[in-house]
Structure 1
Amino acid sequence: MIMECSRIKSGDAEGIRLGNETLKVVKKFFYLGSKIPDDGRSREDIKCRLAMARKAFLKKRNLLTSNIDLNVRKSFLKVFVWSVATYGSETWTINSLDKKRIEAFNMWCYRRMLKIRWVDHMTNDEVLNRIGEKRSLWHNLTRRRDRLVGHVRRHQGITNLVLEGSVEGKNCRGKPRNEYAKQIQNGVSCSRYWEMKKVAQDRVAWRAASNQSQD
């Protein structure tokens, strides 16, 4: 089983053989728990992880919606649900629609923990005020991603080469796709990529820039 990732489909992958067997070309596959499509986008993996996290919440529903102290239940939420939702999230390229989907799942969990029904017509701000949290899932995700990128940037190796690699072919028509490195650059408020690389070399400065991006 193989997958061809290119802006221009060449068809070269069709002829790859292993012994007497021609390897099958697929559109997507699972690797180490992540769903990887041939277009390199993260949307399918994000939807898959959130669905798994929703199932994890429902499995622990009796505990998460019990009369146990709210702070304890929030800790359980991060252990049993957030860990599922954010698995592999360090590598996601997230656009505005994906971010809304992540934040919507975050609020879905909070509303069920507080037993707030949709007919109660309570705003998200009111829910966050009652539970005493910000949008924790998004903050957790960006913190994990920034820590990984900072570590990679401070160490030379194959992971660093992959981070700065490019894909053959020309850009498609229309609005350019959001790039992984670009979203990190914007998150830490750096106008140029070389500026982001320089900040990443200083662990303290990078952590400060990362914390600022989560506000």
Structure 2
Amino acid sequence: MPQGTKVPEESARTAQAKINFQKMKTILTNKHISIETRKRALQCYIEPVLMYGCEAWTISKQIQNKLEATEMWFLRRMLRIPWTAKKTNERVLNEANKRRSLVRTIRKLQTTFLGHVMRIGKREHLVTTGKFEGKRSRGRQREKIMDGIGICGGT
């Protein structure tokens, strides 16, 4: 990648979480440790690396799909399911006795953070709601944090 090229925060976090997963691979893929214990280790040591700073992310459908794919990547590695195995995500989730929770957790953290920002009522409030004076720029409207969370007419 050329120098000075900015990598989206979500992609950088995903890469760091996968690196940390590989460092803990011996524990997370060990069949002698119960799946529940391995899921707890994933939740304690890997997911915080992935979700660091997620309160400020604007999650589009494309980013949401990437986060869900990352969550499935972790589960498939933990269960030692090769990429050539034709198992659906639902079967993998059933085998791990788990539901998708990563995006839901991120949305919850964003909503909690938004509550703090909205109480402040200063510049942060203006930036979050996107209400500035002056003319709008040309082209499609920028996606705001409020749109991603689903409050105030967002999806």
TM-score clears 0.5: yes
Match of 2:70 among 95, 98, 105: 105
Q: Normalization by structure 2: what TM-score?
A: 0.84
Match of 1:140 among 105, 108, 116: 105
Counterpart-to-counterpart distance in 2, 1:106 and 1:128: 10
Give aligned-pair identity as a percent: 31
Counterpart-to-counterpart distance in 2, 1:169 and 1:52: 39
**Deviation at residue 115 of structure 1 after TM alignment:** 0.6
Amino acid at match of 1:119: T
Counterpart-to-counterpart distance in 1, 2:124 and 2:141: 24
Counterpart-to-counterpart distance in 2, 1:177 and 1:161: 15
Match of 2:136 among 164, 170, 185: 170
Secondary structure, in 3 states, of the residue corresponding to 2:147? helix
Q: Structure 2: 5+ residue runs without aligned partners?
A: none
Amino acid at match of 1:170: R
Alignment of 1:41-120 (within 5 A): 44-66=8-30, 67-120=32-85
User: Larger Cα Rg: Structure 1 or Structure 2?
Assistant: 1
Amino acid at match of 2:27: L
Structure 1 consecutive aligned stretches of length 4 or more whose deviation exceeds 6 Å: none
The answer for the alignment partner of 2:153 in structure 1 is: 191
Amino acid at match of 1:191: G
Q: Structure 1: 5+ residue runs without aligned partners?
A: 1-26, 29-36, 38-42, 193-212
Aligned length in residues: 151
Moved more, 141-150 or 82-91: 141-150
> What is the Cα-based RMSD across aligned positions, in Å?
2.6
Amino acid at match of 2:148: Q
Question: Cα deviations across residues 144-179 of structure 1 (Å, max 9, x unaligned)?
Answer: 111111222234444334323557763333x43322
The structure-2 alpha-carbon separation of the partners of 1:90 and 1:63, relative to structure 1 and needing over 3 Å to count, comes to same
Larger RCO: Structure 1 or Structure 2 (Cα < 8 Å, ≥ 6 residues apart)? 2
Counterpart-to-counterpart distance in 1, 2:74 and 2:138: 38
Counterpart-to-counterpart distance in 2, 1:154 and 1:166: 16
Q: Normalization by structure 1: what TM-score?
A: 0.62
Counterpart-to-counterpart distance in 2, 1:172 and 1:72: 52
Amino acid at match of 1:111: R
The answer for the alignment partner of 1:160 in structure 2 is: 125
More strand by share: 1
Amino acid at match of 2:137: N
Amino acid at match of 1:52: Q
More helix by share: 2
The answer for the alignment partner of 1:21 in structure 2 is: none
Secondary structure, in 3 states, of the residue corresponding to 2:8? helix
**Deviation at residue 72 of structure 1 after TM alignment:** 1.2
Amino acid at match of 2:153: S
